[in-house]
Amino acid sequence: MKDLLTVGTVAFDSIETPYGKAEMVIGGACTYASYAASYFTDRINLVSIVGDDFPKSEMEALEDKGVNLKGLEIKENAKSFFWAGKYHENMNKRDTLTTDLNVLDDFDPVLPDEYKSSKYVMLGNITPELQTQVLDQLDGSQRLIAMDTMNFWMDIAWDELMKVIGRVDILTINDEEARQMSGEYSLVKAANKIHELGPKFIVIKKGEHGALLFGDEQIFYAPALPLSQVYDPTGAGDTFAGGFMGYLAKTDDVTFDNMKRAVIHGSAMASFCVEEFSIKRLKNLRDDEVNSRVMKFKQLTHFDL
Amino acid sequence: MKDLLTVGTVAFDSIETPYGKAEMVIGGACTYASYAASYFTDRINLVSIVGDDFPKSEMEALEDKGVNLKGLEIKENAKSFFWAGKYHENMNKRDTLTTDLNVLDDFDPVLPDEYKSSKYVMLGNITPELQTQVLDQLDGSQRLIAMDTMNFWMDIAWDELMKVIGRVDILTINDEEARQMSGEYSLVKAANKIHELGPKFIVIKKGEHGALLFGDEQIFYAPALPLSQVYDPTGAGDTFAGGFMGYLAKTDDVTFDNMKRAVIHGSAMASFCVEEFSIKRLKNLRDDEVNSRVMKFKQLTHFDL
């Protein structure tokens, strides 16, 4: 088992879906990723920033899961990042209603010394400048660095984004964004083009249609678990990434075969995430629930010839 | 190996995709399904109608694949069914430019006696009345009856559609149509509602996102093969259905485990279909190409825990 560094937002969300509303609940890419990873490793080094409005009880809950919060800056007299969004019946699309950067506006991530040798790194979706700033502080001993990004940074910070993408091993990105980044409609061609930008592996997230892993001239397709009800897809992609990297940090094996298992574990965690608003379902899972969910993916996809 | 009865259109298509155009090429649900099935069985009983404009050479090509054309009516001084459509970059959506029913307008399917005991039946997408008319001529000894349909019949012939759905074992339908038929967005809930209408098994086709098989309180998810280029998706759903039913007729085993294999074989055939316009790719496949394509699906989805 190796250390996993997770960087990104720890935040509040207000969410509306066809099934209900949740106001000022816990959110943030780094929160979701850390909870998901915590089912595989208790050596998680979190880097983020919150205001003094962020509940102490929520920090303690993360620490109880093995998340090291030395890298969590708590800014006095400031508000945490806030996002509000609304989903329609097609949960693959959403409208952003509010984005209040608040503390994120002058986030200057400083890694505690003990974080710098983390062998696995998950750069959540923040500005490419901040992602670069984190990479610059690492000691160079990393085994696998993954990053997430979004269309917004392609639109306003393309050059900086290309620099950081050139330095990572894995890019996780959704299908529309992969198409935008590559200019290719076919996801096979899109992954090939992104591969040329630097990452050895590309994970394309397709929401309810699952996820594709490209690398080593191989492709792996993990479906999403078909569910009767998706209550809240917020954080599902980050949860996937956290489960994926948590499993890799636990097993410390970066072969394509083990990455397949990691994709399945990430998909299993994402399938829990969407069953409740916010981190409610992710906070208190039992190991046997996680294991039986992973087995469901096997039943769902395996066949004998 | 058992007989497979295939019913549906044998037609001409004119197709435009972002990659090219094909004018007056061979099309029709029953054509695609029969070619796909022919790689698993040479006992295919085709029921359809064409005009005397349909090339003799194309009929001979079907016969060479083991397709019995005794049930193909050739109408003198009449034109074959014609469909023209255009695809945009997102190949999951298409615009219909022309639909000329021609001979289909007064199609009155009469089953040759030797067809009536076919153990496997694939009712392609035609009017529910015609599907019913075919069912009424069967001798009752069938092992598995599948049908396909489309939104058009839900809009204009709901009651007749419900009657025929109540008589079949499997419904194959695309995701949007499953949602329309059930009034449910979740495909799990949609399949449950359709199950209550009669079919024991439901196959929901999701185009580039693969296909789901529901039945016996189990779910199986087969991805579509990620391809660099989809030249022409016309007939992919019918090809899937033909491969699926052809494999079942060959193996004569309707357990859920064998249906999984059938879904994979159907998906493999569909992945060939889209690689060229019309039936070009489907006409002359070698068995080893089919087998290695099926193996690709295993590599694509299998993982060890």
Q: Which of A90, A195, A301 to mutate to test the interface with B (most CBs of B within 10 A)?
A: A301
Across the range A121-150, mean pLDDT stands at 97
Beta bridge partners of A85: A15, A96
Residue in A227, A261, A305 closest to B303 by CB: A261
Give pLDDT, residue B90.
78
What single-letter DSSP state applies at residue B92?
A: T
What are the extents of the domains in chain B? Answer: 4-301
- Contact residues, chain B, for A220 at CB < 8 Å: 300-301, 303
- What gap in Å lies between CA B150 and CA B158, rounded to an integer? 11
CA distances from A27 to A24, A44, A273, B84 (A): 9, 18, 12, 49
CA contacts within 13 A on the Cβ side of B281? 20
Q: What is the pLDDT of residue B171?
A: 98
3-state secondary structure of B219: strand
DSSP H helical segments within B40-110, as ranges? 56-64
- The two tokens of residue B234 are 């016309």
pLDDT for the residue A106: 86
Cβ neighbours around A290 below 10 Å, total: 18
pLDDT tens for B24-60 read 999 999 999 999 999 999 999 999 999 999 999 999 9
Band of residue B91 on the pLDDT scale cut at 50, 70, 90: confident
- Name the residue with tokens 């996102």: B209
Q: How many C-alpha atoms does B223 have within 13 Å on its Cβ side?
A: 27
Q: In this complex, how many residue pairs, one in chain A and one in chain B, have their CB atoms less than 8 Å apart?
A: 87
Give tens-digit pLDDT for B50-69.
999 999 999 999 999 999 99
Chain A: give the shortest CA distance to residue B283, in Å: 24
Gap from B299 CA to chain A (nearest CA, Å): 7
Minimal Cβ distance to A89: which of B185, B221, B264: B185
Quote the minimal CA–CA distance from A131 to chain B in Å. Answer: 31
**Percent of chain A residues topping a pLDDT of 70:** 100
Model confidence at A91, pLDDT cuts 50, 70, 90, reads: confident
Residue B1 near residue B39 (C-beta atoms within 8 A): no
Tell me whether residues A223 and B229 touch, CB distance under 8 A.
no
Q: What does the alpha-carbon distance between residue A8 and residue B34 come to, in Å, rounded to a whole number?
A: 54
CA atoms within a 13 Å half-sphere pointing along the CA-CB vector of A278: 20
Instruction: Measure B224 CA to nearest chain A CA, in Å.
Output: 9
Phi, then psi, of A127 in degrees rounded to 5: -60, 145
Q: Compute the average pLDDT of residues A246-254.
A: 98
| pLDDT class of B288 with cuts at 50, 70, 90 | very high
- Note the pLDDT of residue B19: 86
Place of tokens 């040759």: B112
pLDDT at A92: 73
Angle in degrees, CA B87, A204, A10, rounded to 5: 130
pLDDT at A90: 78
- pLDDT single digits (tens) B186-214: 999 999 999 999 999 999 999 999 999 99
Residue in A227, A261, A305 closest to B186 by CB: A227
Residue of A nearest to B190 (CA): A228
Chain B residues whose beta carbon lies within 8 Å of the beta carbon of residue A188:
226-228
How big is the CA angle at A170 (ends A303 and B267), to the nearest 5 degrees? 25
- Interface-testing mutation among A182, A184, A203, A303, with chain B (most B C-beta atoms within 10 A): A303
Average pLDDT, chain B: 96
What was the pLDDT predicted at A19?
85
- Residue A23: pLDDT band (50, 70, 90) is very high
Closest partner residue to B187 among A222, A226, A300, by Cβ?
Answer: A226
pLDDT at B93: 79
Mean pLDDT of A10-32: 96
Q: Which CATH class is domain A4-301?
A: alpha beta
Q: Name the nearest CA neighbour of A54 among A74, A30, A29.
A: A74
Confidence (pTM): 0.95
Distance separating alpha carbons of residues A185 and A180, to the nearest angstrom: 9
Q: Which of B26, B9, B225, B25 is nearest to B122 (CA)?
A: B9
- Considering only the beta carbons, identify the residue of A223, A299, A305 that sits closest to B298: A305
